Structure formats: C-alpha cells, structure tokens
Structure 1
Amino acid sequence: MPPPAKPRLPRTMGVEEEFHIVDAKTRRLAPRAPELLRQLPEDYVAELQRCVIEINTGISNSLAELRADLQARRAVLVDAAQKLGLGVVAAGAVPLSVPAEMLVTPTARYRRMLADYQLLAREQLICGTQVHVGVEDRDEAVAVASRVAPDLPTLLALSASSPFWADGADTGYSSARTLIWQRWPTTGLAAPVHNAADYDRLVDDLVSSGVITDVGMVYFDVRPSNSAPTVELRVCDSCPLVDTIVLVAGLFRGLVTRELDAHRAGTPPRTLSPPLGRAALWRAARSGTEGDLVDLNGPTSQPAPKVIWQLIESVRPQLEEAGDWETVTELARQALLVGTSAARQRRALRRRGRLIDVVDQLIAETAGNAPATTFTTDQKPTLLAGYGPPVVDDTAGYDEAVDTDGNPRSDYAAVLDTVARLDIPTLRERQSNIEHQQRAEGINFRVSGQNRPQVFPIDLVPRLIPADEWTYLSEGLAQRAKALDHFLRDVYTDQAIVSDGIVPLHAIDLASRFRSTGRLVGHALRAHIAGIDLVCDGPGQWYVLEDNLRVPSGVAYAMANRRLLHEFAPELTLPADIASVEHVPQMLLETLRAAAPPHAEGDLEIVLLTSGWEDSAWYEHSYLADQMSIVTVRPADLTTRDGKLFRHNHFGNAVQIDVVYARMDEDMLLSSNDHTGTPLSRGIREALVSKNLSIVNALGNGVADDKAIYAYVPAMIEYYLNEKPLLPQIRTWICAEREQRDYVISNLDKLVVKPVDGLGGRGILIGPDATDAAIEERRRELLSQPERYVAQELVALSTHPTFDGDGLYPQRVDLRAFVHLRPGPSGPEAHVVPAALTRVAARGSHIVNSTSGGGSKDTWIMTGRK
C-alpha cells in the first residue's frame, strides 16, 4: 500500500504597492518622492511620477505573514513621510491634484516615456497593486495567466478605489484608474499566447515595433513576471485597507492553484473573447461591488456579491488546502459590508461636502488608523443595533422613526422592515445606482467652497409626515405666507406697521435687502412663492426656522427624490394615501399665470430667468421650465424698450414677456446687460412701473428673509390678520438691541448666532459645538458690529434614520415647505404645495443646508384618504 501523499505547501506570494505622496496641509499630490526616498531603505523605489513611491514585500507563505509584512512596510513609509510633513495614500487616484504641477522622475527611461507618450505619461497620476504567486515553470506561468483572465474583473471590483479624478470631479466610476490605465498600448486581460516561447516572441515584436521601449512596458493585467518565477496580477487599484490586498492575494493564489492543476490535468481553459473580457473589466471599473458585474459563466449581469461568492466557492478546495478558507470568507463578508474604497470615499464627501475629508480618510486608512467597521449577525434583522439619537444634557433627542428603546415607531415599522430586508450591500448598490442617475441627469448642487457641483444625496429611508400634522402645518404655513405678503406690500408703501410701533424703523433700515426696487410694484401681491423652513423637536412639535421669499429652491429636488427612490428602490411601496407630486409643475404654472400684469392679453409669455448652468440650482431651473413648457432665459437674452421686456427667440424675433419667474439674485439681474449690451436696470424698472411686467418673486422681497425681521413675524400675523400665530417659531435675540446683545455675549456657548443676511448656513456659530477661539471671534464681532447678527435658542432638531453606506444613523433633518399665493376676491389665497423637501445634515452636524454638504430624503406627505 503506497504511503499517503504529502500535503502540498501553499504557493508563495508577494506584493508590490504603489503610494501617492500628498502634502499634509493642502492634501494635494506632492512631487517629493526623491526627498522621501532618501529617508527609506532600498526596497522603497521611485516610479514614473515624482509623487509616487513603490514598496515590494518579501516572499510570504501565508496570508497572516503577508498582512504583517504589508503593515510593517507601510508603517515605515508613513513614519518617514510624517516627519517631512507628508501623507501617504494607497488608492487608485487622489481627488486633489494639479496635473500640470506634477514632475516625471528624472531618469533616462522615464524621460523617454514622457517624450513618447505625452498625455499618457503626464496623466499617470494613478497607483496600482500587483500580486505575485509563485509558479516555477515559465510555460505554466504563461498558460495560467491566460486561464485566470476571466476572473480578473471580479478582483478589480474588490479593489476599486478611484472614483475621483485629479481635479476633484466624480467620474461616475469606481475605478477611474482603469480607464486611464487601459489607454496604454500594451494593456489587456492577458497575452493571447499559450507558452513562454510565444510570449517572448510577442514581447520582442512589440519592442521591435517601437511602440514600447523595453519588456518592462508590457502591462497586461496578468502576466508572467519579468524578474521572478511568478504569475503577476496587475489589474487592481492600490488599496487603502491592507485587508483588501490580503483578500485579493488569497483569491488570486486560489485561482492560480486551481488553474495550474487544471492545466496539468489537461482540462481545457474557459474561453473568453477579448470584447467580452474588456466589457467585463469596464463593468467592474464602473460598478465596483456596489452594482452589477458580468458573470462570465452566462454571460449575464449579476449583483456583485453573487459573482464574488461564486468565485470564492469555485476555489474553495484550493483555499481550504492552503488554510485560507476562513480568512478569505470573513474578509469577503467584511468587504461587502463596508463597501469598496470608492464607495467609502463618496460617503466621506457626502458627510461634509469637502474633498479634503476624502483625502484625510484615505490617509487614515492607509496608515491603519481608520476606525474599524465590524458587523455582527444581530445587526442584520433591523439595522438598528446601537441606534440612538444624540444625547444633549443627559437627554436623548427626538427621533421621528425610532423610539427610545430602539424600536421602529408604528408609522415606520413597514418601511424600516423593508429597508432591513434589503441588507447593507443591496442598499449600497441602490444608493450607488441613484447617484449614477443623478450624475447623468445633472441633479446636483454646488457646496460652499467647492468649484464643482456634486450630486445632491438622496437617502433611502423616506420621511413620513402624518396627515393630521400636515393639516396643522398647512394652516400655519398659509397664515404665515399671507402675513409676510402683507408686510412686504406695507413696508414698501405706507409702512403702517412701523408707524404703529410693531416693527421698529431701525430694523427696516438695517435690513441689508430692503431695496428701493421694492417700491416699484406698489400694493400688488408680492410673495407669490414662499419657501418656509420647519424643524421638529418632538411628536407634532414644529417650529418655523426661517422664511425664504427671494428665490426659494428645492421643489424640483423633492420631485426627483420621489421618482428616483421609486425607480431604484421599488420595494419601498408608496402608501395609498400619499400626496402625489405629479401636478406640482402645473400648480406652479397656474401661480405664475395668476401673477400676470393687468394689461396682459391672450397667451401669456412666461419665462424662467436664470444665470445659467453655473447656478447651483441649474437642475431645478431647467427641469421646472421643461415641465411647464416655458423657456429659460439669461439676462443676455433680454432687451427692453417702451416700458416692456422682450426675449429674443431662435429666429431673432423679439417676444414680449409678461411674467418673469426670477431664479437669480436681483442684484445680479439689475447689474447685468441685455442682448445689446445695454444695462437692464432702467428698462426693467420702467416695465414694472408701467405694469407691463410681473416678476415672481417681486424685487425687494429679500427684506422678509432678514433674520432680524423674522423675530417680528408673530407680531405681523396678529397685526395684519388679527389672528394668533398657528406655528411657533424659535426664540430670537436681535443683537442690534443693546440689552439683547449683552445677553447673547454672556451666553455665546449656549446659543446659535447667525448673520442677519446669511445664506446656506454660512457664518453660523453653534455655541455648544464651537471652539473657544470661534466664540471669542464672534464676541468681538458682536461688540463691533452687533447689527449684523441675531441669536437663537439651539433647537434639538429631530433625527431620522439615514443610510450612510454601512448602516442606519440618526441624522438631523428639517423640512422646506412651499406656499403659493394668488390674487383672490378678498385678498391673497394660499395654496400649500403637496411636495416638501426634507434636508438632512451630515452626520454629527446641525446644519442641513444643501450648500453646506447636506442631503435630502423623499418626503411622504400623508393625506389620510385611502
């Protein structure tokens, strides 16, 4: 009886990692690799770009040994970089860089590459990870490289870490590096040969052709190594998490072992046509693990987790033989739960709206300093394990969907159960699909301090407004809008509210948006469209946060939220008694028609005035105009004569305008030139005085947006309507008043202090969250210019379960509701729009404004009608 066969030793492994070097202060790529390399051992080497360094591990026999080696070499690199004021990033690309500032490493080879390849070399601001698995026979290495090619797209998907390109733009891909990399002439899944002699002839022919200069420029995604007896995997992005590399290395070793055994057994390889292989790589670069991948067994399109687990099962015998099964399956489970680096980077941008936060996260993950994200099985049923609203002064805040015991409230039971059944990877896929569609449609917003707009994030958990609460809100919103319209008509004509001592004259004089243009429309209705922001701090406890009567935005985003959530998360079935948003554009058009000047006859000419595609709300402008079948115009499309306003159509004809739906600031409008280069200001004023034109909302309405005027709105309601305010508002101190200012200065650490003319959350100081330095600076500002500020109590905004890529978190929300006023027989008639925009603050933030990086939710307004 023959002795039992000795167990085979696992095949050896090694890794080459490429790292970006960034400036620790600016977070931009820094071409300082030569300086850093002087502080490092010889196995840290230069690359084409002087902002990249490569490390080479030793030879490992186990995944644990490989992990330890990677961690140790990274620690040396990170420590040396920190001493020079540098950061180290392992990712396919870094979102902050200026390609023109980058420098090629000054060797003869790299200089020739720059001369030969020009754009390709200059834009090679990418980093990859290469994994080597030992195969001693070179003929077998070539054969195995070809045989493993069908599974490479799956490994690429796991490593995807380059969603942003150098200028900070979101490419829409999970691995933009792959798109850049594939432009080189010698890339592709594998060489189309079957033995070493054929491979060497192919390489010799490529060098002889002059397209490449040496064997080192053969960049196939898998190839026999040029310098070691290994098969080399080259398809992957650099990976910020070491565990991602360990997972890929374990899978690749399993694949190489499986295919080498099959080759020796004479089993035919799987066939893979080059076009299908390229398509599968493209899909992996596009989707990562957050979308579908190409299952080449079909071929069919399948969810990424399914394709990944199929691959793992296919190499189970090899993983078990090497002792890797438990490690690989656990790492795969974690990878699918936390998502690709690309998904995590997008989450970091959503949270704060700043690209530097993305780079900081990459630096922390590369160094191994990022908080570990782990999941246990008891989290899967509800996704609410450990969930709880923020605690302030030992008191938990109010969460609208989850009670203090962590259980869904009755109205939310079905919604949260559906969300839980979708599980984390599926939710992340749905979120990714929505964002891809948003980028395609241009549903974005410009965040303060950013040059490029970004998608306006939509959360997957809808917000419910019960029917009785909406009825209460609607009555209070209508009342408030009417009172504000009364105030605007009064303050620009008789100023009776000032004469009667309700609103002090100095409050009007100090309001920065009180303008002479407001007097041009007399006693006509002015607040055609109001956007009123509401917050909640308990069941049915709503407060008005602020009023927007200049250019209130958001209704189109509310409509888009409904459509996209329904399209990409159809499991969240709309209740039968939900208010429809389909007729909102028609409602807006009717309001614009009702605003027409008295002399308008026949078919009205209504236009939407915008500053163009660079406006942060351009999506809304273009969408609403399209839905109402009206045209968008810019100031340069207009001209005035004889007290009338005209637009120029595509035929060069001048068409008189009756109503302008103004979606740009009046200062910008009145300082612009018309079609002929003539200033518009005088002509528009004449058209308004002649009553040949209406502007919605009226010029000068910004005085009602003033934070100091807000304090007097309850008094306006009683004064103009002889009614008690239905909606309470937040207690406000006017810092222009000496006693109130002194109180604010004494309590800065407890209050919220806002500029009276602030927009988008800018300039707000939230006392409990502010640093001592920020409080002291605001103190000095209040002493020198108190009239610029108001202070308010800090309201504990309600929270709402918000999916943040790896679970549900309580994030603060507000609600922007919209009220239309139209002339009626006994005064303005109010129409509350059945679409409201829920805005979501970034995690841990109190500021919900879109321009400060917040997101939104689909808002389900319930009618109570079944």
Structure 2
Amino acid sequence: MTALPLLGAEEEFHVVDLESRRSAPEVDALLARLDGAEFAPELQRSLVETNSPVCATLDDLRHHLRRLRASLESAAEPLGLGVVAAGTVPLTHEGDAISAGARFERMQHEYQLLVSEQHICGAQVHVDVPDRDVAVQVVRRVAPYLPTLLAISASSPYWRGRDSGYASFRSMVWSRWPTAGPPGNVETAADYDAMVAELIASGTISDPGMVYFDIRPSSHLPTVELRVCDACPQVDDVVLIAGLFRALVGRARADLDAGLPLPASRHELLRAASWRAARSGLEGDLVDLVGPSLVSPPLVVGQLVDHLRPQLEELGDWEQVLELSQAALGRGSAAARQRRAYGRRGEFTDVVDALLAHTQGRTPAFEPPATVPRSPALLTAYHPTAFDEAVSEGGTVLPHYGFLFRALDRMGPRGMVAAESALRTEQRARGVTFRVADGEPDRLFPLDLVPRIVTAEEWSGLSAGLAQRVRALEAFVRDVYGERRIVADGVVPAAVVENAPGWSRLGKLCPADAVRIAVAGIDLVRDHADHWLVLEDNLRVPSGIGYSITSRRLIRSVMPDLEPPAGVVGLEPVPGRLRSALLSATEPDEPGADEVALLSQGPADSAYFEHRLLADQMGVPLVTPRELQVTEEGVYLVGTGARRRLSALYRRIDENALMAAPGADQRLIGRAIGNAVARGKVALLNALGNGVADDKLVYAYVPEMITYYLDEPVLLANVPTYPCVDADRRAEVLDRLDQLVLKPVDGYGGQGIVIGPHADRAELAEVAAAIRADPAGWVAQDLVALSTHPTFSEGKLEPRAVDLRAFVLQSRHGDGAQVEVLPAALSRVAPAGSMIVNSSRGGGAKDTWVLR
C-alpha cells in the first residue's frame, strides 16, 4: 500500500436522565441544541449517534471522538441529561419510544418486539479500500479476527435491571436480526449485490442498509465497515479497535495481492467464537479458530498485535497500538469494570455514574461501604472455629472479600451448583486430572468455586520472605555437596546431612556455577491474620504451577462475573518466565542454546496433565527418558523424528525413577545424564540431589541457614519443630505425643502423618514405638490451627482448612542467581474435618487471587 488508508468512526450513545440514571427518550431535544451532520438520531429516541470526520491518524481520530463526546455533554447537561458510551445501560425507560421517520416506523411494524427492545449501542469503524471487489475480499479475510475485537469492546453486562451473565449482552440482542452475524459466503461485489437483492426480494429486509453483518462493505462509501463492537466507555478502546481494524484491512489486502486463498473458517465456528467473546469478554478464554481451542485473552490479543506488526509499523501505529492493547488487558473489559462499580453498594446508579465519567475521560469517585453485610443465603450456617480468612468472628465478611460475596450472593446456591456442574464439564473436556496412586484411574482435580484472595500488601511481605528462604536453601545445597562449611562450623549436625533421605552422590555432579533450585515450591500456612508460617520446602519436582494456571481459566470460564475492584495479577506471563529461567542455565552464544525440553515419566506420572500443559505453554517438547540418547557430545532427543541436541532439561521426573529408566538405546539413562551434567553438556533443572535440603528434619534448620549464609533476620518463621534425633527433644516429644503433629522425615503427600490430638491411644502407641526405633526418621511439630476459607460443598459454603503453595524461580545471573516469586500460587484445601490438604488424602484446590 502506498497511500495511507483513511478511517472514521460512528459511535452510538445512550441518553440518560441525570436524576434517575434511566435512559431518557429525549434525543429530539438534544439534537435541537447540536449543529451539523456529525450528530444523528437512532432507532430508539433514547439513543444518539456521532460521526467522526475522515481521519488519517489514530491521534486525529482520538481528538475528534473526544471533541464529539464533549459537545454531546455540553448540549445534554442543561437539559438534565447525560450521555453514556456502552453497549447497554442497566436502567431503561418503560414503553416504546421509536424515532420519527417512515423507515423506523416500517421497521417497528415489521420486526415488532425486536425493535422495541433495541436499547443497545455499538461502535462502527470505516476503513478505505480501493473498490467494492476488494471490500468483499477484505470482509472475508478479516472475519476470523472479529471475536477478539468484540471481547475488547465488551461493555454490556446489564440488561433491563439485571445482570445478563454476559460481558456483551448487546451482541446477544443484536444477533436476533435476520442478517446479523458473520458475513456471507461471497467473493465478489457482484456476488454480494446478488445476495442483498435476494434478501430484499425475500421480504426479510427492506433495503441494503439492513444488512447487519459483523463486517460488511459499506452500502454508500468505498469502505469496509466494522459493526461487531459494543460502544466503548473509554475513547482509547475505540482507538485501539480502530488501529487493529485498519491493520487487519491492510493485512487482508496484502494477502489478496499475494494470491493467498480465503480463510476456511466455518460459519458456525465464527458464530460460536463471537458467542464466547460476548459471554466472557477479556475475563475468560477466547476461541482460537486454529485447532479450535480455548486460549487466554492476553495470548490472543498479544498474538494478534504481533501478527499485525508489519502493517502497524507501516501505518506508524505500532507503538501506540501495542501500548493501548497492554493497557486494555491490564484494566480488563468495561463489563468487568461495571460489575466492580455495582459490587461496591449493589446500586445500578453507581454503574451509570461510572459510565458517565468514563465516557468523558474522567475517573469516577466512589465511597467504599463502611461495612459489608454477610450474605444471608450463603453464610447463614457458616460457623468457622479457627481464624477464617474471609469472615470475621462476628460473622461479617471482611472488606476485601465484600465484592466477591455480593457476586456469589447474586448467584445464590442454585447458581453455584450450576457453576459447579459446568466446572466439572470443563475439567473433563480439558482433561484436568490427577492420579492418587499407581494402578488407580485418573480423577478430576478437585477445584473449589470460591477464590482465595491475597492482598498486595500480604503478597509483598510473603515474596520477600520466600525469596530469602530460597536463596539460603540454594546456598545450603551448594555447600553440602562442596565444602560443608555449615557442618564444620557446627550450625547443622553432620548426621542431619549424612542421614538425609534426599542426599545423593549425584548431587556432586552439578557444576559449581549452576543454579540447583530453579523451581521451588514452598508451602505456607497462617494461624491468624498477620502470621504466616512456612510448613514445608519442595525442591525436587514441585508440582502445582500448571494447576494454578488452569484453575484461573476454569473459574473465569464458569463464573466470568467475579472480578475484584483492584484487579488480579495475571498468570499469562508465568510459562514464559519459567522458560526464561530454564534458558538462563544455557550458554546463549552456543548453537542450540534454546533447545530445552520438559522431562517427564509420561502418562504414568500423577501430574502428567500439568507436564503437558506447561510444555505446551512454554513451547517446548515434552519428552520421556525413552526418547533421549546420551553420548559424549551431550543429550539428544531422538524419539520424535529429527535428532537434536538439548541444552537443558526441566526435570519433572523423580530422581529414583530417572535412575531406573531406560533411554532410547534401552540402557539406563539416569547416570549418563548426571555425567553429561557434570561435563557441562546439558543443564538439569531441578538438579539431582536437591532432596538433601527439603526433608522434614533439615527443614528445622532453615532459619539457621538464613542467618549463617545471608546474615539477615528471618522474614518467614518455621512451624516450631522438634527433631527426634535429638535426645532431649525426643523425650519432650514422647511426653507430648497427644499435643503434637508427628511426621516421618521421608514422608510426602501427607503419608504417615499422625495428628496427636486427633489420634487414638493405639495410633499414639504405634508412632511412639516407631520414633524409639528410628529417632532420625521422625520430627514433631506444634499443632498449628490452619486458617479456614469458605468452600462450596453440597450446595452450601463451609469453612475448610487451607495452605498455600508458592512458587519461586531462580535464574542464573552472572555468578549468582536472580530470584522471582511467581503469582501462580496454589491454595490447597483439606476435606471436611481434616487439616491435611494433599490431594492424595482427599484434598482439593482453589484459585488464588493476588491483588494488584
């Protein structure tokens, strides 16, 4: 393209009464105060339309959109009216109020209630094309991308005084027109005109202007017209959509010039993708037509912007569109923002006030409620006996949970039961499963509907403590496989290291400058509001990141209305950060430095679902030992076609299983991989031998490690722990068995744990004998009353004990490591009446929201 294609926009607005905040059929009085052809009536007398001049740049378009909105407000305010840019307004006037004119009157007669209920507003964008044949081709080529633009614009959650459950209910109302939806299957202007003539002849429509496709050739201008979008409260969203649409038109014209075939997307799938975008906006997954599959909005939007980069750069729009797209994703859809406004007091007037402000580029000011009433429907029988993270002792919902419980209360028990059923259906469709033990069938991963909230202030404190702990543990692992200074200085007894179940000679094979703990999973509990404790360190093959990502997507897909006022830190960047941590272990200047893979035991592993998900999200192959061959030159992937050398392996296979696994040549591969690691031929993350630092006895000495290696005050305390290998501590433990929690040092998944206060005499006698027989094999801990969290079960909310698994990444950075705490934390939930949260013992999980 040589000439810069021009563009323009039409915006529709609701006219509202400033006192009642209802739509007002007063467009005639408003238009009487406005001059020129830039303003026009719409089908309903409570709607008004603006038409921007033709613009060459996005900055020009933004200027005119703001100018026209300001003119509308200036004319409306003296009349006691306001104007709202949104797909719908929650409060509408009663009765029919159709604008005057023969065309509108004919439409009301023909389409009846459909016209009477047309209280909806859209935004249309026009882009120049050379002729109508090109326009028809462009329409077909751009159509697959329109659901993404609809999701960006979604601003109509409320319909006639109730929550529709959609982000864009306007598109649902609009879809009732006989010619609405994806464009027709035509390829030339002649085909298009013939199709329109047939529709008119059928009596379905009366003129070409009633072809209401999501995108169409203009009936009177040499342009392509985008019609799928809701009216947008914020001008920048219109500008973003216009910039993307103009670039899409440019891309379509380039594909046409190159002779590329038309896209083969099914008409039915296009409709389905638009429905999905209307259902959840930017708060739930969107349909990727290639596959097809569900993909997170940040990924869909990000890929679209990257796909259009050549056209955007040619137009001079690249930096602006990139910035606008990131801002739109950061603040979420206008529908979610309206729900947040409603959630403050449960008043639709707050929604309208927010829309009035956003339409003119102002920030709405709201007073948060002084108290948050408890939900009578869901919390009537809710009686926590320990510290509860959402409900106070007096039964009042805590302020940062107020919006959530208002949303849940609107759903009610029946709505939540329906959402729970939809959740299980989604889990089955996506294969979100786990296995309790070998030989047992896969089960659905137990996931609760009610998200857990961690405030920004809490997360800041936790992150500092978690990063400190992992730095100390990394120093310990390096030390015990090297000089053992901490043992020589008497800080950790030699027997603690030498008898550690996870100590391995293979730990000595790791190069001195390697990061050994690339991914740590640290389990935390709390016993009151400001008191978090570390329960356990997992440094071998910690699982849960993938389940955390999936939990977020599943919950948002079945309950898109849940959206906190401050917003939630997104999880979309997490797989990329994990991949970057793995790549940091390689030599960037070496050939094939980016050839990394996730090493799994395969379908036999209980977390195989997560392995597949993370490999897919990171864009790396998922391999088993049978697909690997080790030579003097390195580790090669040979089981998937072309033979290629791998620079790093993300280890998600147990060390013992790896040692016993045959490779592609049928020889045991574990030791060979360890030797390749020692020679610097491959990086293995997490390193072999890490288990020396994460058993329950070594755990007791982590505070001392922090002081010894870092010379810092301990930020996150341990649960008070008593190593039974120490004679004095053992005597105390045996004297207090009925007060303590007894744990085998080499236990995992909650196996072997005895909770003294809940055990009978026979169990206590049995564990006492085991401690006397093998003191080094046991530790005891004070019983911590785990915090509880509302959990939906059998049609009601009940308090369940929870812990939190947080994930810490370490990347090689010069001679040291750079530490990052991921927001993808996994809250684990104990069964009713239990404090053991492990899935192997009947536990489940929750989506964890870290607030911005």
Q: TM-score, normalised by structure 1?
A: 0.54
1:760 to 736, 744, 749: 749
Counterpart residue identity of residue 637, structure 2: R
Q: Does the 8 Å CA contact 2:549/2:571 hold for their aligned counterparts?
A: yes
2:441 is aligned to: 452
Is residue 618 of structure 1 aligned with residue 613 of structure 2? Answer: no
CA change 1:852–1:451 in 2 (3 A) is same
Q: Does the 8 Å CA contact 1:401/1:801 hold for their aligned counterparts?
A: yes
Q: Does the 8 Å CA contact 2:830/2:837 hold for their aligned counterparts?
A: yes
Q: Does the 8 Å CA contact 2:474/2:516 hold for their aligned counterparts?
A: yes
Write out aligned runs for 1:762-777 (5 A): 762-777=751-766
Q: Does the 8 Å CA contact 2:829/2:844 hold for their aligned counterparts?
A: yes
Counterpart residue identity of residue 717, structure 1: I
Deviations 1:417-437 (A, max 9, x none): 211221112211111111121
Counterpart residue identity of residue 833, structure 1: L
User: What is the alpha-carbon distance in structure 2 between the residues aligned to residue 537 and residue 677 of structure 1?
Assistant: 51
1:569 to 559, 568, 573: 559
Ranges in structure 2 where 5+ consecutive residues have no aligned partner: 1-372
Q: Does the 8 Å CA contact 2:510/2:678 hold for their aligned counterparts?
A: yes
How far is 1:599 from its partner? 7.9
Counterpart residue identity of residue 762, structure 1: Q
CA change 1:731–1:506 in 2 (3 A) is same
Deviations 1:121-152 (A, max 9, x none): xxxxxxxxxxxxxxxxxxxxxxxxxxxxxxxx
User: What is the alpha-carbon distance in structure 2 between the residues aligned to residue 437 and residue 729 of structure 1?
Assistant: 38
How far is 1:826 from its partner? 6.0
How far is 1:623 from its partner? 0.3
How far is 1:382 from its partner? 3.7
2:707 is aligned to: 718
User: What is the alpha-carbon distance in structure 2 between the residues aligned to residue 729 and residue 525 of structure 1?
Assistant: 24
How far is 1:522 from its partner? 3.7
SS in 2 for 1:402: coil
Deviations 1:449-475 (A, max 9, x none): 871121112211111101111000000
2:678 to 683, 689, 696: 689
User: What is the alpha-carbon distance in structure 2 between the residues aligned to residue 572 and residue 537 of structure 1?
Assistant: 27
SS in 2 for 1:823: strand
Counterpart residue identity of residue 809, structure 2: H
User: What is the alpha-carbon distance in structure 2 between the residues aligned to residue 634 and residue 597 of structure 1?
Assistant: 24
Q: Does the 8 Å CA contact 1:534/1:545 hold for their aligned counterparts?
A: yes
Q: Does the 8 Å CA contact 1:621/1:663 hold for their aligned counterparts?
A: yes
How far is 1:774 from its partner? 0.8
1:632 is aligned to: 622
User: What is the alpha-carbon distance in structure 2 between the residues aligned to residue 379 and residue 385 of structure 1?
Assistant: 8
Deviations 1:641-695 (A, max 9, x none): 11511111432x3211110101010111111111111111342132112101111
User: What is the alpha-carbon distance in structure 2 between the residues aligned to residue 436 and residue 646 of structure 1?
Assistant: 39
Counterpart residue identity of residue 413, structure 1: G
Q: Does the 8 Å CA contact 2:660/2:670 hold for their aligned counterparts?
A: yes
User: What is the alpha-carbon distance in structure 1 between the residues aligned to residue 457 and residue 405 of structure 2?
Assistant: 22
Counterpart residue identity of residue 476, structure 1: G
User: What is the alpha-carbon distance in structure 2 between the residues aligned to residue 813 and residue 682 of structure 1?
Assistant: 39
User: What is the alpha-carbon distance in structure 1 between the residues aligned to residue 593 and residue 504 of structure 2?
Assistant: 32
1:543 is aligned to: 533
Write out aligned runs for 1:232-381 (5 A): 381=376
User: What is the alpha-carbon distance in structure 2 between the residues aligned to residue 419 and residue 765 of structure 1?
Assistant: 37
How far is 1:486 from its partner? 0.4
Q: Does the 8 Å CA contact 1:749/1:775 hold for their aligned counterparts?
A: yes
1:328 is aligned to: none
Ranges in structure 1 where 5+ consecutive residues have no aligned partner: 1-377, 391-396
Task: Number of aligned residue pairs: give it.
Answer: 479
Counterpart residue identity of residue 642, structure 1: E
User: What is the alpha-carbon distance in structure 2 between the residues aligned to residue 620 and residue 819 of structure 1?
Assistant: 17
User: What is the alpha-carbon distance in structure 1 between the residues aligned to residue 814 and residue 587 of structure 2?
Assistant: 16
Is residue 385 of structure 1 aligned with residue 380 of structure 2? Answer: yes
Q: Does the 8 Å CA contact 1:520/1:689 hold for their aligned counterparts?
A: yes
User: What is the alpha-carbon distance in structure 2 between the residues aligned to residue 398 and residue 576 of structure 1?
Assistant: 24
User: What is the alpha-carbon distance in structure 2 between the residues aligned to residue 640 and residue 449 of structure 1?
Assistant: 29
CA change 1:790–1:600 in 2 (3 A) is farther
Q: Does the 8 Å CA contact 1:456/1:855 hold for their aligned counterparts?
A: yes
Q: Does the 8 Å CA contact 1:643/1:690 hold for their aligned counterparts?
A: no
User: What is the alpha-carbon distance in structure 1 between the residues aligned to residue 695 and residue 756 of structure 2?
Assistant: 21
Counterpart residue identity of residue 510, structure 2: V
Counterpart residue identity of residue 806, structure 2: A
User: What is the alpha-carbon distance in structure 2 between the residues aligned to residue 567 and residue 574 of structure 1?
Assistant: 16
User: What is the alpha-carbon distance in structure 2 between the residues aligned to residue 720 and residue 670 of structure 1?
Assistant: 32
User: What is the alpha-carbon distance in structure 1 between the residues aligned to residue 596 and residue 731 of structure 2?
Assistant: 50
Q: Does the 8 Å CA contact 2:374/2:395 hold for their aligned counterparts?
A: no
How far is 1:576 from its partner? 3.9
1:413 is aligned to: 402
Q: Does the 8 Å CA contact 1:660/1:696 hold for their aligned counterparts?
A: yes
Q: Does the 8 Å CA contact 2:739/2:756 hold for their aligned counterparts?
A: yes
Q: TM-score, normalised by structure 2?
A: 0.55
Is residue 587 of structure 1 aligned with residue 574 of structure 2? Answer: no
How far is 1:597 from its partner? 5.3
Counterpart residue identity of residue 626, structure 1: D
1:466 is aligned to: 455
CA change 1:689–1:379 in 2 (3 A) is closer
Counterpart residue identity of residue 621, structure 1: H
How far is 1:492 from its partner? 0.4
- Taking only the aligned residue pairs, the percentage that are identical comes to 43
Q: Does the 8 Å CA contact 1:434/1:564 hold for their aligned counterparts?
A: yes
User: What is the alpha-carbon distance in structure 1 between the residues aligned to residue 439 and residue 805 of structure 2?
Assistant: 24
1:501 to 490, 506, 509: 490
1:440 to 429, 450, 471: 429
CA change 1:599–1:573 in 2 (3 A) is closer
1:39 is aligned to: none
Is residue 801 of structure 1 aligned with residue 796 of structure 2? Answer: no
2:595 to 584, 598, 605: 605
590-599 vs 699-708, greater mean Cα deviation: 590-599
User: What is the alpha-carbon distance in structure 1 between the residues aligned to residue 698 and residue 747 of structure 2?
Assistant: 13
SS in 2 for 1:459: coil
How far is 1:564 from its partner? 0.8
How far is 1:614 from its partner? 2.0
CA change 1:411–1:693 in 2 (3 A) is same
Q: Does the 8 Å CA contact 2:601/2:624 hold for their aligned counterparts?
A: yes
How far is 1:379 from its partner? 10
2:586 to 596, 620, 633: 596
